[in-house]
Structure formats: structure tokens, C-alpha cells
Structure 1
Amino acid sequence: MTTLFRRRHLPPLDGATAWLNSGPLDPDGLRGKVVLVDFWTLTCINWLRTEPWVRAWSQAYRDDGLVVIGVHTPEFAFEHDLDLVRRAVQERGIEHPVAVDNGYRVWQAFENHWWPALYLVDTDGVVRDSQVGEGRYEHVERRLQQLLGVDRPEVAVEGEGVEAAADWDQLGTPETYLGAERGSGPHAPGELRRGDWSLTGRWTTEPEDVRLDEPGGSISFRFSARDAHLVLSPAGPDPVPFQLLLDGDVPGGAHGVDVDAEGHGVLDGGRLYQLVRQDGEVRDRTLTVTFAGAGVRAHVFTFG
């Protein structure tokens, strides 16, 4: 949770490869408006947990002169798919303009390095403040109010489902990338220690992910957190059923939003899947996901 500040003007937005919810916007046309720029990528759990606030601010301060602009800059190759971005915009209820930044030109113009990142711009087009990562929502909203010249109670926000705030006090496992570029590789199947993961079946390690080469393969992870998520993408358009087990049994009431109590889920496109949400005591658990079809790509585990 880092706040950045360097006085500069709103960079050009003409590097966007597409726009959703509006036509192209530019700094000149935004003069006289307070602008909140929100860098995101559709599979980022940190962005998903901030999005309820960004949506709420967009709605609450629209009539006061606030323009929120989302910038979708993809982390993984499959996130370049415009249809996936459109789906995320629809599912998240995003009504404000979104610049699709597949070429990273807007990202580079801002000299941005993070998802999520917020940039607050005044009516003269000057970047007045910025926020990296989750948290400090009261600070950001107060800064927006100062730029807008309004003073009223902050909006009430409560994230639900995958957007719910993390249980930071019980979060004992960091995000873990699986591909060769940022991952450390799997462990042998069997007894896993916290933070270890393993594969069964025939898999291929790629730069961004591990790819399942035949049906019936599994991935296991030993973790300690209330929530466990896995970013997945398929080989083609056909859905791939999967089965989640938690400590060798069905998850029951500990199932996440993307599986049922029996552990059944379906990979229906590239996105983040919430596998586990525990209620009550958090302890070390081992999850295992078995896929009925080949071609599945697993990118990163995240927790909350």
C-alpha cells in the first residue's frame, strides 16, 4: 500500500487499442473535470478487492464532476482478448469508460508499474496524488472530495464474493506464480509444506503457466488463508469441468464462489476462480484441483 506523488500532467490516452463504455477520451477534453485513473487487469485479486470502492466513487461523485477511467493493461497473454475484458466489465458492473491498453502504451505514459494503481487528476489536468495496491480508501476519497470541492460522509462500501476484503490477520500464504518466468517450480507429490505445490499427470511448464497435456491431471497447494484463488485459462472454447478437494474431502461450507459444496466447478474462460472461502478458524489446508480435460493452463495462486 504505497502512495506515490510526482507533479505532472495527465499523459495522453491515445495509446489505447480500444475503448469500452465510451469513445476515446483525451486530456484536453477532460479539462475542467476531476479524473480518477484506475489501472487494472481482470485476473488481479488486489484489483478485484478495490473495485467496489472505485465503482462507488464513480457513481457517488459523477454529478460533482468526477470522471473515472479504467485502464485495462493485461498481465497474462490471454488477457489481451477483448471479449474477456468486456465480460469482466459486465460482470463487475463497471459503467465508467475503460481504455484497453494491450500495447502497454498508456501504462508506459504514466510510468506505471502496478495493478491496481489509482491516479487522481485535478481540473487543470495535473496529477495530484496516487495510490498503489489495496487500502487507504478513506484517504483516496477525501482527496477526491478536496479536488471536487465537496465535503460529505464517505460512501459505504462492502465487497461481496470475490470482491470481499481479505482477512489480513489470518493470511499466511503469499501469491505464488506457477510459470517458469516467476515461479520456483513444483514439489514432488506427497506431503507438502505451507506454500508448496505439486502436479500429478502430464504437465508442461511454460513461461507464464503450467499446461495440462492430458485429462485427469491435478494441481495441489498447501496454504493458510481464508480464501484461495487460482487464475486459469482454457485451450479452447469448450468448458472444462473440475473437481476441488480440501484435505482429501469435498469442501462443504468452505467452498468458494466458483465451486459448489461438492467441489464441482467449470473452467469457462480465462479468469480468476475462487476455490475456497473458509468460515471461522483458518488453518493449514491442502487443496487439490483435478481437471476433466486437457489444455488447461494454471497461472497463479492468490489468497485472501
Structure 2
Amino acid sequence: MRASLRLFALSLLAAGPILLAPAIPSPAMAQELSDEGRMPSLSGATHWFNSPPLTTQALRGKVVLVDFWTYSCINCLREMPYIRAWAEKYKNSGLVVIGVHAPEFEFEKKTDNIQKAISRFHVDFPVAVDNDRSIWNSFNNEYWPAAYFIDAQGRIRHHHFGEGDYATSERIIQTLLTEAGAKNVPISLVDVSASGEQAEADMNNVGSPETYIGYARARNFISTGGAVQDSANDYVLQGTPELNQWGVTGNWTVTDEHATLNAQGGGITYRFHARDLHLVMGPGPNGKPIRFRVTIDGRTPGMQHGTDIDEQGNGTVTSQRLYQLVRQTGPITDHTFHIEFLDPGVQAFAFTFG
């Protein structure tokens, strides 16, 4: 399996204000869409939500949108309101949306976690759980999110990697439905207004990259002595990090995928530039809630707090997911983020920004 990265770089280019929409779907537009081959089988799914198992044969005659996502990916979460809106708007015209949940982290393979995410984000279209990456590999996919547009004959006619460019994607759905003979296909575009971590990113002000905490993909880690692999170690962070540098303090065990805090009072510091800061984390194996406190430049966040903390910076890790910890208002500048954990056991996976 080839290594896969979320589309931070591509989303910088793709997201942002939607440009003027293309012309109303026409036969000429349909002819311009390519033929990228037949839709691969969905038989590799290990579980299905919101639907019995679907097959390519049963989907023949339908326009299908296959969307690869995973529930802790911020780019996927920001795209999801559009996917959900298209599924509802065009279901009576013959569109079938299938979300293929392909995990990045081990905890994203747990069906209970996926079910909670489906409920949290109001996903009511079919979701195929692709824990073995069987469907992912059959599509030769490499990205989260990734959308494949399939015509009524079962041919892939277009794909889009990353978030953004929603107007073009919706016009393609309209074109394929019209090509399939659907009547009265709406020609308007969905008007999505999302909140929390699903709100559109301020990509013009994102100056920090997705940052993994596990040693396999960690970059710019500056705690004294560097990361000690797979063993408990006391870490110290001296001075203030430069932009996009980060480190941990306290006693942690750093593995290839995450870092686990072994004693209360440890923390993580990151110098960042973005409107939003998120941290993917969860409680340890015992599942006990973990209290934490966030500061920005040494002060309580106030109105700069994210949806998962209060104005004093207080929050609790209760499940394995993405937590929004900072949402700035006003001009975006560099800031030093710090999170201190008041209980041991937290597992921290990755920072993302928006």
C-alpha cells in the first residue's frame, strides 16, 4: 500500500470563496467528462451503516458519488456538509451517495467510533467501512477526502481530491443526472452554512501544516533530547518555539502513531499561524475522561476559544476524535498554543488547522 497524506496542500489551493459557477449542465459538458474506467467493486467493505451492502450491479442506472473520508480528518469534515446536502437534494433525481470510511488511525477502525461520528455529523447516506483499505486500493485512491463521480452506466467520469471547488462538483452531478435521463434536475447550487469544525476554513491565513505527533511522521519536534521511541521519557521544552515548532513537557511515551501522557500535568506547546487549531486526541485504554486547560500566549482564550473548550480554556477529552481548541476572531497572527492535561492517559495524534 502506498503511503497516503491528507490534502493539506491541495486544500490550500482548492478551498476558499467559491468562484462563479459553470454554465447550466448541457450535452456538451457531458461529452467533456472523461471515462476513467468502470467503478470497482464495493465487496471489500467490512461493515455498512445506513444501508445493506450495495453492489455495482444494484447501482447500475443510478448516478453514484463515492466519497472517501475518515472521521478525524478536518478536510473531510469541512467537505461533509456539501456531500450531505447533495445526497438529500438529488436523491429523487437518481443520485446515490456512498461514503467510504477508510481509516488513517487505528482508533478509526472501531465501528462504535464510526457510529458516533455518523450521528454527530448527521450522516444519513450509506457508509461502507473500509477497514482493510480494499475499496481504497481498488480505486487506486491516495487521498482524504476524494470524490469519484460515476455515471448510470457504471463508468467513473470525474474525480476530485481535497475539499473545495464545490460548485464544479455539483454541476457534474447535475450533468450526469441529466445525461441519465432524469427529469427536472435542479439547476441551482446548494447553499451550505456550517459551524464548528465543519465551517469553511480561512485558507488565506493558514500558515501551519498538519502536524503528526507520533514519531513515524513527526516534524519540527523540539523537546530537549528529541523523541524517545516507544519508551516512557521525561520531556522538557526550553524557550518559546519558532513558527510551526512544537514540543511536549512531562512524562510521555511516544509511539509511531501517537504520544501517551503517563502522569498528570504534562502538556504540548505549538507556535502556529491559523484561524483555527484542532488536535486529534482521545482517552487511553481505560476510557476515563481527561481534563485539560488551554492557553494562548500564556493567557486564557476568551473569545478565541474553539467549540470544545470554554472561555477559560477548560475542556475534557471523552472520546477519540478531533477537538477544536482555537477559533480566532479578528486579524490572524502567530500565537503560542499550550495545552496542559490535568489527568494522565491522554493519547495525542495530530494537529490540524483552518
Q: Is the TM value for this pair above 0.5?
A: yes
Residues 245-296 of structure 1 show CA distances to partners (whole Å, capped at 9, x for unaligned) of 1111110000000001010111011000000000111111111111122221
1:278 aligns with 2:328: yes
Of 46, 54, 58, the residue aligned with 2:87 is 58
Q: Which amino acid aligns with 2:79?
A: T
1:223 alignment counterpart: 272
SS of residue paired to 1:225:
coil
Structure with greater proportional strand content: 1
Residues 125-184 of structure 1 show CA distances to partners (whole Å, capped at 9, x for unaligned) of 101101000111011000000001135111111221110111111111111111111113
Which structure 2 residue ranges, 5 or more long, are not aligned?
A: 1-9, 15-32, 179-184, 224-236
Give TM-score, length-normalised by structure 1: 0.97
The range that moved more, 181-190 or 131-140, is 181-190
**How many residues of Structure 1 are paired with residues of Structure 2 in the alignment?**
304
Instruction: Please tell me whether the aligned partners of residues 178 and 185 of structure 1 are also in contact (alpha carbons under 8 angstroms).
Output: no
Of 304, 308, 312, the residue aligned with 1:262 is 312
Displacement of 1:186: 2.3
For residues 93 and 173 of structure 1, what CA distance do their matches in structure 2 show? 29
For residues 300 and 103 of structure 1, what CA distance do their matches in structure 2 show? 22
1:163 aligns with 2:198: yes
2:5 alignment counterpart: none
For residues 89 and 352 of structure 2, what CA distance do their matches in structure 1 show? 31
Map 1:171-190 → 2, pairs under 5 A: 171-184=206-219, 186-188=221-223, 189=237, 190=239
Give TM-score, length-normalised by structure 2: 0.84
| Displacement over 6 Å in runs of 4+ | 2-5
SS of residue paired to 2:128:
strand
1:105 alignment counterpart: 134
For residues 19 and 198 of structure 1, what CA distance do their matches in structure 2 show? 39
Instruction: Please tell me whether the aligned partners of residues 228 and 277 of structure 1 are also in contact (alpha carbons under 8 angstroms).
Output: yes
2:255 alignment counterpart: 206
SS of residue paired to 1:9:
coil
Q: Which amino acid aligns with 1:70?
A: G
2:341 alignment counterpart: 291
Displacement of 1:5: 6.3
Q: Which amino acid aligns with 2:104?
A: E
Q: Which amino acid aligns with 2:309?
A: V
1:42 aligns with 2:100: no
Instruction: Please tell me whether the aligned partners of residues 35 and 155 of structure 2 are also in contact (alpha carbons under 8 angstroms).
Output: no
For residues 242 and 157 of structure 2, what CA distance do their matches in structure 1 show? 45
Larger Rg: 2
Q: Provide the identity percentage.
A: 45
In structure 2, the CA distance between the partners of 1:269 and 1:200, relative to structure 1 (3 Å rule), is: same
Instruction: Please tell me whether the aligned partners of residues 276 and 326 of structure 2 are also in contact (alpha carbons under 8 angstroms).
Output: yes
SS of residue paired to 1:201:
strand
Which structure 1 residue ranges, 5 or more long, are not aligned?
A: none
Displacement of 1:201: 0.4
Aligned-residue Cα RMSD (Å) equals 1.5
